[in-house]
Amino acid sequence: MTSTLIVGAGSAGCVLAARLSADPARSVRVLEAGPAFGTMAELPFELLDPGRLPVGPESALVWRYAGNLVRGKLIGGSGAINGSYFIRPPAADFAAWSAVAGPRWSFDSVLPVFCDLEDDQDFGEAPGHGIGGPIPISRTRHFTEFSADFAQRCEVTGFTEIPDLNTPATDGFGRVPLTVSNGRRSGPAVTHLYPAMERPNLTVTGDTMVTRLLLRGTRVIGVEWVRGRERGRTCADQTVLCAGAVESAALLIRSGIGPEPLLRSLGVPIVRPAPVGAWCTDHPEIGVEFPGGEPGEPAVPLEYVLHVDDLEVRPYTQMFTPGLRRVGVALMHPESTGELTLVSTDPTVAAHVDQRYLHGGRDRARLRAGVALTAELIGRRIGPVDDTWLHANLGTSQHLSGTCRMGHAHDERAVVDEQGRVHGIEALTVADLSVVPVPLRRGPQATTVMLAASIADHMVV
């Protein structure tokens, strides 16, 4: 019998598996729906090149959902294919999180976990930072012309340059902390899982889709899975979902843990009514494009960003449309929330995520303000920026969270408790971005690994 079964070898699953399997008395098994390359030597080049984003139509390494939402489907998950951005959210986000879920998620409580994870090559010996941890953090020193010009324009406009965006400072521009070492993308598979792969008590199996939880009453005893034409079951003392904000929620619903009306419409026997999929959030992003020169040398997607209240302005080094440079304007604290639902119990039928972007008038007003600021920065007239223009230029930051929100048992919006344990269900934990109960004002990669490390450390105790 496996001690701990982890569903998903994405960013959270890699960290959790490495930390739990450090105890030789605990057997850990990981099931990943995508490919699980056996060693780092087998990783395709584009997964190690931080200047590449292997998420295009030709990529077989992503889950795809309506609305151009994609998530990593491979060992390392989205952390293996993202832009290597690694910025902590501000303390205010953790204050809101701890107000909902308890003091262990306050900034003072999570800061030691962040420090323990870091090997910050620029500020590692500064207060509130770490050196010698598993995750290398660096900042670009030789910038593209586009990034350097953006930074100069921010300074001329009057914004403060922040040397380290992983400090409590909020508004200003600065170099993006990156999980890059020696020119190589260093996601959680590289920093956590591969160094642990030779442990005899850790088994990682790829190309295995978990279809349903196995329950005995309200206790999870394992999972059912499919691998090609093979079907099987794996039993465990404890099951942890690390399949991401979409697939962890979908798995709960297929297993009878979800909104009662949805379960009835799908014909799924109800095990535990729960608000799975409700009140989820993402960061809507407006792409401001304008003619510009072709990029020179390959570079990470973002070298600088500008933070202004709840907006993040992103000068992308890469061209997404031939001949056009892009500055992204992302709303990092939207008031609009979305909903995830299933249209079928067939796990090969993608879940539906209704982001409900721009439903709130404040959200539209903030994005208009962000577009106006961007127009000032780049010295170009943009508009008229009405609702039609916003929708025509609207995209997603690919930061979905909150589909299995954390909170107290009496909270009508909560699915899991402060330790990620599913309310009313035994031996089942969720430890990925789906449990984060508040919008985060920064991209979620740093939070995801901190969350997984924190939950893993509690499970070890």
Structure letter (DSSP) for residue 155: H
Q: Is 398 annotated as a binding residue?
A: no
Residue 202: C-alpha distances to residues 12, 30, 117, 319, 388 (Å) = 16, 8, 21, 41, 52
Query: Which residue shows structure tokens 């939880």?
Result: 213
Tokens of 108: 């003072």
- Encoding tokens for residue 382? 């943009």
CA distances from 240 to 105, 212, 221, 248 (A): 19, 13, 11, 10
Q: Tell the residue number behind the tokens 């994405």, with chain if given.
A: 10
How far apart are the C-alpha atoms of 53 and 301, rounded to whole Å? Answer: 8
Residue 444 in marked binding region: yes
C-alpha 204/C-alpha 150 separation (Å) is: 43
* Structure tokens, 103: 């003091």
- Helices 445-460 and 11-20 cross at an angle (nearest 10°) of 30
CA 148 – CA 175 distance, rounded (Å): 10
How far is 97 from 100, CA to CA, in rounded Å?
A: 5
- What residues contact residue 396 under an 8 Å CB cut-off, 6+ apart? 67, 68, 69, 282, 283, 284, 285, 355, 357
Length of the chain: 461
The residues annotated with a catalytic role in the active site are: 399
Return the structure tokens found at 443: 């991209």
The answer to whether 218 and 272 have CB atoms below 8 angstroms apart is yes
- Unique residue bearing structure tokens 């060693």: 39
Token pair 């308890």 in the structure block, residue: 102
The secondary structure of residue 294, as a DSSP letter, is P
Structure tokens at 49: 């090149």
The reply to whether 445 sits in an annotated binding site is yes
Residues in binding site for FAD: 210, 444-445
The binding site consists of 210, 444-445
